[in-house]
């Protein structure tokens, strides 16, 4: 199993550009989530999904959109990038909503918005 994969690994955007961060898992996990990690801020939840067709907002959802058309994929879209979205983005998955379950994290996407 590849686990959780994320592409791209690095990305530089100009303010106002759009892009999609890809996340895929091959463990048949129902729960998937996106976090951003900033220095001194820890990991903050952006959006999450408890199954295909079901998504919800986390702590910091503004400026990001998600959809979940399949169990395997959970892309994160930045519609109009801003410098404040410069961060490292992690996708994670687990069998359920995290209660006592192992969360598996991808390797991250490092995004710089100029």
> Which residues of this protein are in contact with other proteins, per CB under 8 A?
4, 33, 35, 40-45, 48, 50, 56, 58, 90, 92, 96-108
For the bound state, the minimum distance from the C-beta of residue 111 to other proteins, rounded and expressed in Å, comes to: 14
- CA pair distance 110, 21, nearest whole angstrom: 10
For the bound state, the minimum distance from the C-beta of residue 7 to other proteins, rounded and expressed in Å, comes to: 14
- Quick one: 17 or 37, whose CB is closer to other proteins? 37
Contact between residue 94 and residue 31 where contact means Cβ atoms under 8 Å apart:
yes
- Would you state the torsion angle of the CA atoms of residues 94, 99, 100, 106, taken in this order, to the nearest 10 degrees? 30
Structure tokens at 112: 């710089």
For the bound state, the minimum distance from the C-beta of residue 20 to other proteins, rounded and expressed in Å, comes to: 19
For the bound state, the minimum distance from the C-beta of residue 106 to other proteins, rounded and expressed in Å, comes to: 5
- Quick one: 14 or 39, whose CB is closer to other proteins? 39
- Quick one: 30 or 73, whose CB is closer to other proteins? 30
Instruction: Name the DSSP letter for residue 50.
Output: E
Q: For the chain, report the end-to-end CA distance as a whole number of angstroms.
A: 36
Structure tokens at 109: 């996407």
């Amino acid at each position: 199993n590849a686990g959780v994969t994320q592409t791209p690994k690095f990305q530089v955007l100009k303010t106002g550009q759009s892009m999609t961060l890809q996340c895929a898992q091959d463990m048949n996990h129902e729960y998937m989530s996106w976090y951003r990690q900033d220095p001194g801020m820890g990991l903050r939840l952006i959006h999450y999904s408890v199954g295909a067709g079901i998504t919800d907002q986390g702590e910091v959802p503004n400026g990001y959109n998600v959809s979940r058309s399949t169990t395997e994929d959970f892309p994160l879209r930045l519609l109009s990038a801003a410098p404040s979205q410069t961060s490292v983005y992690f996708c994670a998955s687990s069998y359920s909503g995290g209660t006592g379950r192992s969360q598996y994290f991808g390797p991250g996407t490092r995004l710089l918005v100029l």
